A = this chain, B = another copy of it.
Amino acid sequence: MSVTIYDVAKAADVSIATVSKVINKKGRISDLTRERVLKVMEELDYRPSVLASALMGKNTNTLGLLIPDIINPFFAELSRHIEDRANELEYNVIICNTDYQQEKEKNYIQLLKQKSVDGFILASGFEDPTEVERLIEEEIPVVIVAREFPLFSVNGVALNDYIGGQMAAKHLVDRGHQNIGIIARDLWSNRERVRGFCDYLQSQGLEKHPEFEFIRDDNLTHIITGKKAAEHYLTKNSRPSAIFACNDLLAAGAIQATRLHGLRIPEDIAIVGFDDTTLTRMIDPPLTTVAQPIEQMGNEIVDLMLGVIDGSVKGEKHITLMPSMKVRETT
């Protein structure tokens, strides 16, 4: 097998305890011995087994990340930033796709617990919080990102989705739209966005589109879902002059449907998305959207996670990030 602490100890003519001490910079060691051990470690290209040290109670330096679906550009980007930041801090991350299915969420948590990950970053739905509550009971570090907080106490960073919804509404209303369709899935974040959106409309004496309802079928890709939902509005005789889609993917679908109906964007129909993924710049016309600071979110959540792990974060810490409008060419 590979070289162990025993090999190093033997080669440096010290005990394994001494080697361990120089690795962990603990206890008293003379400079001379330290140098010698270090040199031997170098020569033998020794790498401590994470397994063995974790078994002794040290960290595995591994994080579990539960997201709905990596194919969704928002989560791909979030994951990327999380992975980058984690890696800077010598951590690896195990990404699990849950498709918002509670069964999968539960299984993954079990699996990762057995692997002794140091903590969980949750970005999935968790409509049923029992599994999460159990983690907390067992004092396993958990943080939540990109989702509002449940009743019990968890640390996390999230966007103020409510204000994001309001911004989208204001943007559209300012441009004279009165009759606006909404496309949203039945998820916490989407519900908040819609709530903000509708509250703003109401504050301006406007009402939400009578045909609006949350989308529940999850078997389709968001893009198709968005397309279908937009069709729904376009075939009504009270056709809206604008559509607010609760994420960029849904918006992209809406754009396709709009095009199929021979309508021009933004002249005939304006469209606003949410998230500000790179997708907004891949499609044509570039999508006006409510931006989440995805990179910052990723950085903050891993910093928070590590804070929880090393105990430096005490009490409950909720970091709320603010959205911003990115006006491009669909409005």
User: Restricting to A41-89, which residues have a CB under 8 Å from any CB of B?
Assistant: 47-52, 54-55, 60-62, 69-71, 73, 76-77, 79-80, 83-84, 87
- Total copies of this chain within the assembly: 2
Give 1 or 0 for each of A113-132: 1 = CB within 8 Å of chain B CB: 11110000000000000000
A264 within 8 Å of B (CB atoms): no
Please measure, in the bound complex, the distance between the C-alpha atom of A52 and the C-alpha atom of B116, giving whole angstroms: 10
Looking at the assembled complex, report how far the CB atom of A89 sits from the nearest CB atom of chain B, in whole angstroms: 12
The 8 Å CB contact of A51, one of B115, B255, B282, is: B115
Give 1 or 0 for each of A253-288: 1 = CB within 8 Å of chain B CB: 001100100000000000000000011011110000
- Whether A51 and B221, one on each chain, are in contact in the complex, defined by CB atoms closer than 8 angstroms, is no
A204 within 8 Å of B (CB atoms): no
Looking at the assembled complex, report how far the CB atom of A285 sits from the nearest CB atom of chain B, in whole angstroms: 9
A112 within 8 Å of B (CB atoms): yes
Please measure, in the bound complex, the distance between the C-alpha atom of A256 and the C-alpha atom of B95, giving whole angstroms: 33
- A72 and chain B: residue at smallest CB distance: B76
Return chain B residues, CB-CB under 8 Å to A87.
96
The 8 Å CB contact of A223, one of B111, B256, B281, is: B281
Return chain B residues, CB-CB under 8 Å to A281.
223
The 8 Å CB contact of A278, one of B48, B111, B223, B284, is: B223
Give 1 or 0 for each of A83-108: 1 = CB within 8 Å of chain B CB: 11001001011111100000000000
- Whether A92 and B94, one on each chain, are in contact in the complex, defined by CB atoms closer than 8 angstroms, is yes
Give 1 or 0 for each of A230-245: 1 = CB within 8 Å of chain B CB: 0000000000000000
A252 within 8 Å of B (CB atoms): yes
Please measure, in the bound complex, the distance between the C-alpha atom of A73 and the C-alpha atom of B97, giving whole angstroms: 15
- Whether B71 and A71, one on each chain, are in contact in the complex, defined by CB atoms closer than 8 angstroms, is no
A30 within 8 Å of B (CB atoms): no
Please measure, in the bound complex, the distance between the C-alpha atom of A214 and the C-alpha atom of B111, giving whole angstroms: 44
- A248 and chain B: residue at smallest CB distance: B282
Return chain B residues, CB-CB under 8 Å to A77.
71
How many positions in chain A have a CB within 8 Å of any CB in the partner chain?
51
- A77 and chain B: residue at smallest CB distance: B71
- Whether B115 and A92, one on each chain, are in contact in the complex, defined by CB atoms closer than 8 angstroms, is yes
A15 within 8 Å of B (CB atoms): no
- Whether B116 and A49, one on each chain, are in contact in the complex, defined by CB atoms closer than 8 angstroms, is yes
A211 within 8 Å of B (CB atoms): no
- Whether B284 and A284, one on each chain, are in contact in the complex, defined by CB atoms closer than 8 angstroms, is yes
The 8 Å CB contact of A284, one of B48, B62, B112, B283, is: B283
Please measure, in the bound complex, the distance between the C-alpha atom of A42 and the C-alpha atom of B71, giving whole angstroms: 36
The 8 Å CB contact of A95, one of B2, B62, B95, B279, is: B95
Return chain B residues, CB-CB under 8 Å to A76.
70-71, 73, 76
- Whether A60 and B115, one on each chain, are in contact in the complex, defined by CB atoms closer than 8 angstroms, is yes
Return chain B residues, CB-CB under 8 Å to A278.
71, 221, 223
User: What is A's interface to B at a CB cutoff of 8 Å?
Assistant: 2, 47-52, 54-55, 60-62, 69-71, 73, 76-77, 79-80, 83-84, 87, 90, 92-97, 110-116, 138, 221, 223, 249, 252, 255-256, 259, 278-279, 281-284
